[in-house]
Chains A and B, each alone.
Chain A
Amino acid sequence: MSIETQASTAIRQGSVPALRGVASSSRRGFSPFAVRGWGVLSTILKGLGLAVFAFALFGPLANLALWSVAERWYTPFKLPVTYGMRYWEVVFRPTGDAMSSLATSVSIACLTVVVALAVSVPAGYALARLKLPFRTVLMIVFLLPQAFPSVAIYINVARVFYSLGLTGTIPGVVLVHAAHGLVYSVWIAAAAFAAVDKDLELAARNIGASPLRTFFTITLPLAAPGIMASAIFVFLESLDEFTGTFFVGVPQVTTLPLLLYNASMGGNYQIASITALILLVPSVLFMIFIERFLKADVLSKVGQ
């Protein structure tokens, strides 16, 4: 019996000690008038809280939007002095290759998701359900690509890829991105499989389903929401990556984040803001696509 079910049974039976006595202490009387007053106040408070939250979220993004249409903006002016689409024209000019880099970026991100999921679904299942030696060590190994400074690694990867003829190719870049995204897909897939109720699998096996059939009809669908959520993170990770792309892909493969990185680091705010806004489109579309694809409440089992 998992701890969750234990907890819920315990609560259903009213046996959680912390909750005893709550019933008596919270029965206080309110006049109807006071209740209505409290309701109005509470709505105002909620609205205010939401406004503060929205400000914290969208304030920085508003900056992005403003810079993308600011042609001149300097002290002492609090807002842009002149607005215009000049920098949009710069980004989309015929000699600039924003759109083709964007197409490359999105294709690489999609392929990265496929590769990362293809290897991490079996790995996640094994980590969650099967007895593996040094399981802790294996889990930590998958964290590596996130934790170690990437530049030093990519130089060596590039060296290996030259001898394999993988530099300057899409598969080379996809492999590097997938290795970097594996931490999300493996960790989250492992957690998603661990959350699937073993009793359901046992029931399927008892009525004569083969292990493979059980996996594909019971386990995988139940773990799917978590795995799909990990796909979002892998996708975003790939769409943001530039160091690996540089060492392995450039100059044959150029992606939009390379432009974004240059522009951002150099303080070309307008170009960087516009590039970031363009990159927002595939990210949001991918998220919506994943949600549609799952139809049911996509996030209901994420990462348990």
Chain B
Amino acid sequence: MTRPSFFGLILIAPALAMIAALFLYPLGFSLTSAFTVPGGGFSLTHFEKAIDLYSTDILFTLFIVITSTLLTALFSIAIAGTLTLGETPWLISSLRFLYRWPLFIPFIVAAQCMRTFLAKNGLMNNSFVAMGIMEPLQATSFLDWRGIIITFVWKQVPFVTLMLAGAMASIDRATIEAGRNLGASRLRVLIEIVLPQVAQTLLVGLVLSFVTMLSVLSVPMMVAGSQPTMMTVDMAFRINSYGDYATANALGVISYAIAGAVAWIYLRHNVKREIAA
């Protein structure tokens, strides 16, 4: 297994061909427009412009996506952990029934639901007021960065949980029993025995979530006002208002670099793990 497998290359060829034809080739045009000036050669002008105008938005995007990813991890672990280690059958079965629903809601609909749910006079605050938990005057709007994060987490937790709960269900129950028999609390079993065994799945799910959230346009567009906003909104704005594909593509390259960096960190970690094993 030391030299590259020719057979392996044949197996991966159709998938690669598909990406090459439907993505890399068209992407070439975009990269060209991002890195050149009209009639001229190589240039970083568009990147300068992108940074100059949208540096705040780039940082804002990073903040939103990283925070959402961390929260998604936290909630997914909690739910999947309860599903695996819980000892109350009715709780587990209701939880299993409940958690998946947001998976089926497209982002654009999630955005629309949240816009009317999280608003100052939205359904959430109205329900709290009706239940007597809150005074009407205390109502605040969540339609800003918090709204974006809530929507992302709401939408991505079921995705990661679905993968994570599956992985947890398949680990050797004996390891869990052993921990429990030694008297470890369930939280401790979850963190010290279960999680290390499913870390791989968790990371795949989180990387995919991270990249997905980075590319969503409708949520930042519909949930929060535009100052500051996420990079996808800026890209759409550049194209729709100025017909300026070059700067939009430059922003796209930055976005892809962020996604690539995260994927690379994950894959490095993976390689180290394989070597260690």
CB distance from B212 to the nearest CB of A (A): 6
How far, in angstroms, from A254 to B77 measured CA to CA in the complex?
Answer: 39
How far, in angstroms, from A125 to B8 measured CA to CA in the complex?
Answer: 8
- Are A123 and B104 CB-contacts (below 8 A) given A144-B24, A148-B255, A229-B166? no
Q: Mark A193-235, 1 if CB is under 8 A from B, else 0.
A: 0110000000000000000000000000000011001001100
- Are A26 and B183 CB-contacts (below 8 A) given A63-B116, A160-B25, A264-B218? yes
- Are A126 and B204 CB-contacts (below 8 A) given A2-B277, A50-B91, A144-B23? no
Q: Find residues 223-274 in chain B having any chain A CB closer than 8 Å to their own CB.
A: 232, 235-236, 239, 245, 248-249, 251-252, 255-256, 259-260, 263-264, 267-268, 271, 273
User: Using Cβ atoms and an 8 Å threshold, which residues of chain A touch B276?
Assistant: 3
Is residue B101 contacting chain A, with contact meaning CB distance below 8 A? yes
- Asked whether, in the complex, the Cβ of B26 is within 8 Å of the Cβ of A78, the reply is no
Interface SS of chain B: helix, strand, loop or mixed? helix
- Asked whether, in the complex, the Cβ of B98 is within 8 Å of the Cβ of A53, the reply is yes
How far, in angstroms, from A184 to B205 measured CA to CA in the complex?
Answer: 10
CB distance from B248 to the nearest CB of A (A): 7
CB distance from B191 to the nearest CB of A (A): 9
Interface SS of chain A: helix, strand, loop or mixed? helix
Q: Find residues 163-197 in chain B having any chain A CB closer than 8 Å to their own CB.
A: 163, 165-167, 169-172, 174-175, 178-179, 182-185, 188, 192-193, 196-197
- Asked whether, in the complex, the Cβ of A140 is within 8 Å of the Cβ of B264, the reply is yes
How far, in angstroms, from A72 to B26 measured CA to CA in the complex?
Answer: 46
Is residue A141 contacting chain B, with contact meaning CB distance below 8 A? yes
- Asked whether, in the complex, the Cβ of B4 is within 8 Å of the Cβ of A132, the reply is yes
How far, in angstroms, from A63 to B271 measured CA to CA in the complex?
Answer: 46
How far, in angstroms, from A143 to B259 measured CA to CA in the complex?
Answer: 8
User: Using Cβ atoms and an 8 Å threshold, which residues of chain B touch A90?
Assistant: none
User: Using Cβ atoms and an 8 Å threshold, which residues of chain B touch A102?
Assistant: none
- Asked whether, in the complex, the Cβ of A23 is within 8 Å of the Cβ of B182, the reply is yes
User: Using Cβ atoms and an 8 Å threshold, which residues of chain A touch B263?
Assistant: 139-140, 143
Q: Find residues 32-67 in chain A having any chain B CB closer than 8 Å to their own CB.
A: 43, 46, 50, 53-64, 66-67
User: Using Cβ atoms and an 8 Å threshold, which residues of chain B touch A75?
Assistant: 121
Q: Among the listed A11, A175, A283, A298, which residue makes an inter-chain contact with B179, where contact means beta carbons less than 8 Å apart? A: A11
- Are A4 and B19 CB-contacts (below 8 A) given A260-B109, A264-B112? no
How far, in angstroms, from A56 to B95 measured CA to CA in the complex?
Answer: 13
How far, in angstroms, from A113 to B239 measured CA to CA in the complex?
Answer: 32
CB distance from A230 to the nearest CB of B (A): 9
User: Using Cβ atoms and an 8 Å threshold, which residues of chain A touch B111?
Assistant: 264
CB distance from B222 to the nearest CB of A (A): 7
User: Using Cβ atoms and an 8 Å threshold, which residues of chain B touch A233?
Assistant: 159
- Asked whether, in the complex, the Cβ of A152 is within 8 Å of the Cβ of B8, the reply is no
| Total residues of chain A contacting the partner, CB 8 A | 117
Residue of B with least CB distance to A280: B104
Which of A12-20, A81-89, A91-99 forms contacts with chain B? Answer: A12-20
User: Using Cβ atoms and an 8 Å threshold, which residues of chain A touch B256?
Assistant: 144, 147-148
- Asked whether, in the complex, the Cβ of B183 is within 8 Å of the Cβ of A130, the reply is no
- Asked whether, in the complex, the Cβ of A60 is within 8 Å of the Cβ of B154, the reply is yes
Which of B10-18, B43-51, B53-61, B66-74 forms contacts with chain A? Answer: B10-18
User: Using Cβ atoms and an 8 Å threshold, which residues of chain B touch A60?
Assistant: 110, 113-114, 117, 154
- Are A7 and B208 CB-contacts (below 8 A) given A12-B178, A149-B248? no
- Asked whether, in the complex, the Cβ of A175 is within 8 Å of the Cβ of B11, the reply is no
Residue of A with least CB distance to B159: A233
Q: Find residues 1-36 in chain B having any chain A CB closer than 8 Å to their own CB.
A: 1-5, 7-9, 11-12, 14-16, 18-19, 21-27, 29-30
- Asked whether, in the complex, the Cβ of B117 is within 8 Å of the Cβ of A122, the reply is no
Is residue B201 contacting chain A, with contact meaning CB distance below 8 A? yes
User: Using Cβ atoms and an 8 Å threshold, which residues of chain B touch A132?
Assistant: 4-5, 8-9, 12
User: Using Cβ atoms and an 8 Å threshold, which residues of chain B touch A240?
Assistant: 106-108
Q: Find residues 135-180 in chain B having any chain A CB closer than 8 Å to their own CB.
A: 154, 159, 162-163, 165-167, 169-172, 174-175, 178-179
- Asked whether, in the complex, the Cβ of A257 is within 8 Å of the Cβ of B106, the reply is yes
How far, in angstroms, from A183 to B204 measured CA to CA in the complex?
Answer: 11
Is residue A176 contacting chain B, with contact meaning CB distance below 8 A? yes
Residue of A with least CB distance to B255: A147
- Asked whether, in the complex, the Cβ of B259 is within 8 Å of the Cβ of A184, the reply is no
Is residue A145 contacting chain B, with contact meaning CB distance below 8 A? yes
How far, in angstroms, from A138 to B8 measured CA to CA in the complex?
Answer: 12
- Are A56 and B26 CB-contacts (below 8 A) given A178-B18, A304-B170? no
- Asked whether, in the complex, the Cβ of A191 is within 8 Å of the Cβ of B204, the reply is yes
- Asked whether, in the complex, the Cβ of B215 is within 8 Å of the Cβ of A147, the reply is yes
Q: Among the listed B106, B192, B196, B205, which residue makes an inter-chain contact with A239, where contact means beta carbons less than 8 Å apart? A: B106
- Asked whether, in the complex, the Cβ of B30 is within 8 Å of the Cβ of A152, the reply is yes
8 intermolecular pairs with C-beta atoms under 8 Å apart: A14-B182, A23-B182, A122-B12, A138-B12, A191-B204, A232-B103, A272-B112, A280-B104
Which 9 pairs across A and B sit closest by C-beta, in order of nearness?
A302-B166, A299-B166, A130-B8, A156-B26, A147-B259, A123-B15, A60-B113, A122-B11, A126-B11
